Amino acid sequence: MRKTFDAELQELGAEMIDMAAAAEDAIDLVTASLAAPDDRQAREATAMTQNMDQNEREIENRCLRLLLQQQPVARDLRTISAALKMVTDLQRIGDQCANIAEISLLLAREGPVPDHIREMSRKASSMVKRAIFAYANREEGAAHEVIGMDDAVDALFREVKGELVTLIREDRESADRAIDLIIIAKYLERIADHAVNIAQWAIYCVTGSIEPV
């Protein structure tokens, strides 16, 4: 029963996984380009996120059509409404990766990116991957791990901010670079927040309840 609907839900699941994979690739490219700046990688990240915009529209349209035609309840409603919310987080992750890639190209000429920012990038990357794993496998435990990891990223952001304030104080010439770096750090901190959102929607898929932030 409901063969057509089940097929549609499977396609929706596949589209979500494709888009999630693109988000994972984007953050991998960003992490790599922060470690060793590379024009090609930065351009790839930008192109990838343009596709993600298209994916976002397609997934939204499918979800809205399924809500209208199938009037889903219970697990089906959770799957579709979670997809509708998560797709925005995935797309934002893509956007932020593209922005970081762009800035990191300019920065590369002026020396390596501070360790703490690279660490933020690695941590945000593993949060995104773990959150997507939690969603794809409906793993509540993994989702809670992601939520728990966010504090470390926030703490790193505060450290980076402190370091950059010191840098500006000590060397006024570095102010431009420091501002670019703080923007990157802020994007990374936001990416980690999006990973937390995805983890929360993964929990919602399983339990039906929306956890307080």
Partner 1 sequence: MTDMDDLREDRQGSAVLSAQKLNLYYGAAHALKDVDIDIQEKRVTALIGPSGCGKSTFLKTLDRMNDLVPGVRIEGTVSYRGQDIYAPSVDVTWLRRQIGMVFQKPNPFPMSIYDNIAYGPRTHGIRNKSQLDDIVEQSLRGAAIWDEVKDRLKKSALGLSGGQQQRICIARALAVEPDVLLMDEATSALDPISTSKIEDLISDLKSRYTIVIVTHNMQQATRISDQCAFFLLGELIEYGNTTDLFSVPKDKRTEDYITGRFG
Which spans of this chain sit near partner 1 (rule: CB under 8 A)? Answer: 1-2, 5-6, 71-78, 207-209
Q: Of 6 and 11, which CB lies nearer to partner 1 in the complex structure?
A: 6
Q: Of 38 and 72, which CB lies nearer to partner 1 in the complex structure?
A: 72
Task: Report the C-alpha gap between 30 and 104 in whole angstroms.
Answer: 9
State the nearest-atom distance from the C-beta of 205 to partner 1, in Å. Answer: 11
Provide the terminal-to-terminal Cα distance of the chain, rounded to the nearest Å. Answer: 38
Task: Report DSSP letters for 16-70, one per residue.
Answer: HHHHHHHHHHHHHHHHHHHHS--HHHHHHHHHHHHHHHHHHHHHHHHHHHHHHHH
| Distance, CA of 179 to chain centre | 22
Burial code of 137-158, b = ≥16 C-beta within 10 A, e = fewer? Answer: eebeebbbbbbebbeebeebbe
State the nearest-atom distance from the C-beta of 4 to partner 1, in Å. Answer: 11
Q: Of 9 and 93, which CB lies nearer to partner 1 in the complex structure?
A: 9
Task: Report the C-alpha gap between 207 and 211 in whole angstroms.
Answer: 10
Number of Cβ within a 10 Å radius of residue 166: 11
State the nearest-atom distance from the C-beta of 171 to partner 1, in Å. Answer: 56
Q: Determine the 3-state secondary structure of 65 from DSSP.
A: helix
Q: Of 5 and 136, which CB lies nearer to partner 1 in the complex structure?
A: 5
State the nearest-atom distance from the C-beta of 62 to partner 1, in Å. Answer: 18
Q: Of 124 and 143, which CB lies nearer to partner 1 in the complex structure?
A: 143
State the nearest-atom distance from the C-beta of 76 to partner 1, in Å. Answer: 5
